[in-house]
Structure 1
Amino acid sequence: MRRQFLYSVLVTATLIGVIDHAGVVAAQRPPPIIPATPLNASTTAELTGLPATSAQFTRLDLRVVTDGRALNPYDPAHADLTLDVTLPSGTTLSVPAFWMVDYAADGTPADAGGWHVRFTPTEPGTYSMMPRIGAVRGRERTLTVTASDAPGFITRSRTSPRFFADSRGRTFIPIGPNIAWSTGNVLADYERWFDRLAASGGTYARVWMASWAFGIEWRDTGLGDYSARQRQAWLLDRVLELAQARGIHLELCLINHGAFSETTNPEWKDNPYNAANGGPLAKPGQFVTDARARALFRQRVRYIAARYAAFTSVFAWEWWNEENFTPIPEAELRPWLTEMSTYMKSLDPYGHPISTSFSGGAAAATWRDGSVDFAQAHLYTARDLSLELVSLARQFQESAPDKPVLLAELGFSAGSGGDPLLERIHFHTGLWAPLFVGFAGPGSYWWWDSLIDPQNFWPDYAPLAAFLKDSAIATLRPVTARSSRPDVTARVLRSDTYALAWLVSDVYSTSGVQRMQTDALLDGTFKEGEPPVFPQRRTDLSIRGLRDGPYTARWFDPQTGHWLAGQAVTVIGGGLTLPSPTFTRDLALRVDPR
C-alpha cells in the first residue's frame, strides 16, 4: 500500500536524522536532560518591535527582552513569559510568549534565540500591552489599530452552525486537498502547490505536524525541549506565511496515528514518550491517561498555540489523524480531548475550530462532545462515490447534529495507481457531491504529490469555486428533487428563496464506465486505451418548496467552469420545473431571487 510504504520511508529517515527544509537529512542530537530550573534573576521585561499603529487582523511579531535565563526556555515551569493585553472593548488577554531561534532564507540559524510574542488584533481601537514574567512587569505600551476589510479568522458560523465563516460573517468553504508534507525542498514545494491551488480558487489544505515533517518533539529532541526542532518550527512559520499570502487556510494535524501505534504505520519504538527512549510510558495506549504524559503534551500545546495561533492562515487544530489506529479506546480518548481542547481554547483567543479524526469516523460518539467543533470523515473507496456519500452523510446527521462535517481525506483507494479515467471521475465527483449531501465543503483528496500535482488536477477546483462564489450555500439544506429521467440523478440544496442543483449522468461513475466498457467488449467496439464516449443526457428538473415570485435560473458546466444558458423564471405554487441543456457528464444549476 503506497501510504504504508511512504510512511516507512519517512520514518526510516527520522531514525537516521531529521529531514531539513531542503530535504536533506541532518544528524541527530542526543536528547538533553533538563533539570527543572526556573528563569533566574529576572528583573526586567521590555517589549520591543511594537509599532505605534497597525491594521486590524495584521499579525504582530514582538520581542520580549529580559535579563533572566532558563535552562529550558520551552518549559513554562522554567520560564513563564506572557503579554497582558487589554483590548479596546475592555477584554483582557494573557498571550503566552515563546522561545524561538530565527532562520535566514537559506535555512541557517540567524540568531541564538529569543523571546517572541505573536498577537493579531481583532478589533479597531487602542490596545494596552504589558509583558510579565511572574511578579516582574514591564512597561505598559499602547497600540492604535485601524479598521480593515481583511477577512480575519475562520470559525464556526454563528448563523449557520453546519458551516464555517470568517470574521466578517462571510461563509468559508474549505476547497483544497491534503498537502500533508513534502519529501523534497519544503518551501519550494509548498510555494508551487499553493500557487497552483490559489490560482484555481482553492482556500484550504491539511498539513501534518508529523515527525518527518513539521513535528517539534521526537526522538532527537527528547520530551519538553524543542531546540533540536527549531528549523521544523521555522519551516511551518514560512508555510503559514505562504498560505496567508494566497488566501489559503491550513488545518494543522498535531498527532499522526503512527506515533502511538505498534501495528499501523508504527513509530512507537522511536517515540520519546516510550519508556525505552526515556519516556514515561510502557505502552502507547497510556498516553491519554498518564499524568506525566498529559502534562508534557500540554506543554507542547502551549508552544504550538503561542507560536502559530496568531496566523489567520491557521484554519483549525486537529488533535489526531485516524486515532482508531492506536490502542487508545474512544472512551479514554474523550476525557483527554476535553482536557486538551479546554486548554487550547484558553491559549487561543482567536477561536480556531478544533477537531480530531478517525478512519471512517461517522459513528464516533466523540462528535457530540463539546471538545470538538466539527466532525471529519475519511473515505477510501472504488465504489460509486455519489451513493457512498449519501450513506455517510446520513450517519453524520445522527452522530454530529448541527456541526460542520468535512470529508477531510478522500481517495479512490488507500493506494495510488488506479485506473486514470476512474480516478479522474472519482476526484471530480469528490469535489461536487459532498456539498450536495450535507458536508461543509468538497472532499479533500489525499494524493497531492503523486496525483494532483504531477497530473495537474489543480484546475479541477476552479469550476466549483466559481459556481459557489457569492452563493447563499450556508443557508441551504439538502432536499429531495425529481429528475424526469432515470439516467440522471439530481442533488439539490434549497432554502425558501435560493436553490443549487447538481445533475449527474448514470454512466459518469465507476460502475457506469465499467458497464460501458463491458457493453463495448460484448459488441466488439471496445478499443484498449480509448476513453469511452459518454452519451448525451437531458432531463426536466423539478424543485419544490421555493417561495412564489421571480427568480433567475442559470445553468453551469462543472467540467469547464462556464456559465451556460440563463433565464428569468417565476415560481408559482411553490414549484419550479426546468428543462436542462444537453450534457454528457454532469451539470449544475443556480436559482437566485430577482
Structure 2
Amino acid sequence: MQSTALVNTSVQQYKKVEWNIKLNAAFTNPYNQQEIKLDLLLTSPSGKPLLLPCYFEEGKSAASLWKARFTPQEAGKYNYQFILTQKSKTEESTATSFTANATNETGFLHKNDLWTFEFDNGKLFRGIGENIGWESRSFEKDKWTYNYLLPTLAKNGANFFRTWMCYWNLPLEWKKVSSTKRYTNSDHYFHPQAIKRMDELVNLTDSLNLYFMLTLDWHGHLMQNGGWKNSSYNVLNGGPAKTPTEFFTLQAAMEKYKNKLRYVVARWGYSTHIAAWEFFNEVDNAAFTAQDSMLIPHAAITQWHQEMSRYLKDIDPYQHLVTTSISHRDILGMNSIPYIDFNQKHIYKHTEKIPAIYPDYIQTFGKPYVVGEFGYRWEDADPKYGEAWDFDYKRGLWYGLFSPTPILPMTWWWELFDDRNMTPYFNSVKEISDQMLAAGNGSFAQIPVVTNKLHAQAVKCGNKYFVYLLNNSNEKNEETVSFEISTGKKFSVQSFTPDTRNYAKVNSFSIENKHLVLDHFALEGKKDMVLIISIIK
C-alpha cells in the first residue's frame, strides 16, 4: 500500500465517509476478489467489528487507485485499518482513527414487524410508491428519466420505488446493450456508463429522500431466447456457464456473481436510501416454460439464493434488507431462506385478491410479504382501459395500506400513470399512512367489518380506528356498516375522500352491542372512503 487518505474534513453519523487508497500491487482483474481484494476493517465506538469491501477505481498494477465508502451508524470514535489480500498474502496499513459526530439523520432501514420497517434511530417506515423499472428505452419518450420521474414521486407523497439492472438500464455486467440510447457496448468487466449512472441515481435519491429497492437481475437474463445469448456468464461470451442452470450451480459462476455483489456493496452500500437488495425479478419465469414445464430445477435456484443471501449479509456491514421475487409460481424452499428478509409476489389482473395474499404467506413463513408489482393488465399499458387502470391503481394502494405489509403494492406501467397524472394520488395514501403511524406508533390491529356488498378493511392504531370502504360495483350502494369498538368511550367520526383529500364530520352513527354502526351508508359506484374514528378523552 502506497498511501491511504481520508477525503472528508469532517465525519458525520449516517453520512458518507470516503478514502482514497493508492496501491502498487499486481493484478490482472481488479474486480476478481479471488485475485485481489482490499477491505476496510473498523471497530465502532461500541466495540463492534465491521468489515467493509473497498473497490477499484482506476489505474494499473504499478499504480492503482482504490476507494472506500463508509457510513457510520454510531457516533463516536472509530479505529480502522486497511487490509490488502492477494491470494495467500496479506498486507495491513497502519491503524488509525476518526470520530463521527452525531446527527439527527434516521440511518438505514431494517426489518421490524409485518407492517413496518425501522430505521437505525427507531423511526418507523412504510413504503409508498411504484415501480420505475427503468429509464426510457430507445423507443419511448425521452422525458421518462430518473431526473424527471423521481422528483415527481417525491413531491407527491411517495417515498419508495423499485428499479432494475438489465441490459437496457444500469447494465453493470452487460457488455452488449440493447433498446437504449443511454448506454453503448463496452468491453469492461463492469460497464463504466452503468457505474456513472448508478452513482448519479444514488446521489439523486439521497437528495430527494426517496428509498428504493435495487433489482440486481431479472428473469429475462436467463432465457435462451432472451438475454442469455449476450450474458457475460455464457461460455460463448467468455463466461463460465453453458446453460442458465449452470448460472446457479457452477462454482465459477457463483464466484463471478459474488464479485458483482462485492462491488455493489463497496461502491453503493453506503447509501441509507438503498432500502433493499433484490436478487431477481420474477425468477420463476426463468425456471418454467410458458406451459409451466420446468427448465431450471427448483433446488438449484433455492440453494443459489441461500448462498448468495448469506454471502451478501456477510459482506454488507449495514445489513440492508435482502429479497427476491416471483411472478406467480413459488420456488420450492425459497420462501424459507433465513437470510431473505421479506418475500415477494407479483399480481396482475387480480388486484382484488391482494388483501387475502398476506395472511396465507405470513402464517406459513412468518416473514413480511410484499406485492412488488400489480396491475390491471400485464400484457401492455393500453390507454383505452384508462379508467379501469386508474381504479385498479387506487384500490391496490388502499388494499396494501390496510394489510400487514411494510411496502404497499407497487404498480407497474409508470409511464402510463405519469401520462394520466395519477402520481399526485400518492398524497392521499401518505396522509392516512402518516396518521396511522402517529396514532399507534407502529401498532396495527386488524378489525373485522360487517358489510353487505362493500369491500371493507379496518385497523386500530392506538386510540384511532381507520376503516376503508370501497364500492367495486358500477352502481350506487347503500347499506349498514358496523365493526367492534371499545365501549364506555366517546367517539368522533370523520370521513376522508381520497380523490379530493377532503374531510367531513360524520354525525349519523350509533353504538350498539359494542359495535359502531353506520346505517344507510352510501357510496357511488367505483368510489371509496376512509373513516377515521377517534376516541375523545
TM-score range, shorter chain: 0.7 to 0.9
TM-score (norm 2): 0.86
Match of 1:229 among 163, 185, 191: 191
List runs of 5+ in structure 2 lacking aligned partners: 178-186, 287-294
Alignment of 1:159-178 (within 5 A): 160-178=113-131
SS at 2:345 equivalent: strand
1:163 to 1:186, Cα distance in 2 relative to 1, 3 A: farther
1:366 to 1:547, Cα distance in 2 relative to 1, 3 A: farther
Match of 2:434 among 439, 455, 469: 469
Q: String of CA shifts for 1:366-408, please: whole Å, max 9, x gaps.
A: 2222131101110110x5x33x22343343234432x221111
Q: String of CA shifts for 1:104-139, please: whole Å, max 9, x gaps.
A: xxxxxxxx9731111001111111222222333223
Letter in 2 for 1:241: N
Letter in 2 for 1:478: Q
SS at 1:419 equivalent: helix
Cα deviation, residue 85, structure 1:
1.1
Letter in 2 for 1:339: E
Alignment of 1:234-245 (within 5 A): 234-245=196-207
Alignment of 1:506-521 (within 5 A): 506-507=472-473, 512=474
Cα deviation, residue 365, structure 1:
3.7
The answer to whether the 8 Å contact 2:445/2:461 transfers is: yes
SS at 2:51 equivalent: strand
Cα deviation, residue 278, structure 1:
2.4
* Aligned match of 1:499: 465
1:46 to 1:283, Cα distance in 2 relative to 1, 3 A: same
**Whole-angstrom CA distance in 2 between matches of 1:118 and 1:462:** 34
Match of 2:211 among 242, 245, 249: 249
**Whole-angstrom CA distance in 2 between matches of 1:120 and 1:550:** 49
1:88 to 1:556, Cα distance in 2 relative to 1, 3 A: same
List runs of 5+ in structure 1 lacking aligned partners: 1-42, 103-111, 513-533
* Aligned match of 1:523: none
1:317 matches 2:277? yes
* Aligned match of 1:517: none
Cα deviation, residue 471, structure 1:
1.7
* Aligned match of 1:589: 531
TM-score (norm 1): 0.78
SS at 2:77 equivalent: strand
Letter in 1 for 2:105: A
Match of 1:93 among 46, 50, 54: 50
* Aligned match of 1:150: 105
1:98 to 1:545, Cα distance in 2 relative to 1, 3 A: same
Cα deviation, residue 562, structure 1:
2.4
* Aligned match of 2:11: 54
SS at 1:117 equivalent: strand
Alignment of 1:238-317 (within 5 A): 238-262=200-224, 266-317=226-277
Letter in 2 for 1:175: I
SS at 1:469 equivalent: helix
* Aligned match of 1:119: 70
**Whole-angstrom CA distance in 2 between matches of 1:408 and 1:242:** 22
The answer to whether the 8 Å contact 1:546/1:574 transfers is: yes
1:236 to 1:567, Cα distance in 2 relative to 1, 3 A: farther
Q: String of CA shifts for 1:204-223, please: whole Å, max 9, x gaps.
A: 111111122113112459xx
**Whole-angstrom CA distance in 1 between matches of 2:487 and 2:298:** 45
* Aligned match of 2:290: none
Task: Please report the RMSD computed on the Cα atoms of aligned residues, expressed in angstroms.
Answer: 2.8
* Aligned match of 1:524: none
1:170 to 1:581, Cα distance in 2 relative to 1, 3 A: farther
Cα deviation, residue 140, structure 1:
3.1
Letter in 2 for 1:237: D
Q: String of CA shifts for 1:144-172, please: whole Å, max 9, x gaps.
A: 22222212111111xx3443122222221
Q: Which moved more, 1:473-482 or 1:304-313?
A: 473-482
1:409 matches 2:373? yes
Match of 1:395 among 357, 360, 371: 360
1:569 to 1:380, Cα distance in 2 relative to 1, 3 A: closer
**Whole-angstrom CA distance in 1 between matches of 2:418 and 2:64:** 36
The answer to whether the 8 Å contact 1:187/1:235 transfers is: no
Equivalences, count:
502
Alignment of 1:473-552 (within 5 A): 474-483=442-451, 486-494=452-460, 497-507=463-473, 512=474, 535=476, 537=477, 539-544=479-484, 546=486, 548-552=488-492
**Whole-angstrom CA distance in 1 between matches of 2:98 and 2:488:** 53
**Whole-angstrom CA distance in 2 between matches of 1:547 and 1:475:** 20
1:194 matches 2:147? no
Match of 1:334 among 298, 302, 309: 302
**Whole-angstrom CA distance in 2 between matches of 1:574 and 1:137:** 70
Alignment of 1:5-20 (within 5 A): none
1:228 to 1:398, Cα distance in 2 relative to 1, 3 A: closer
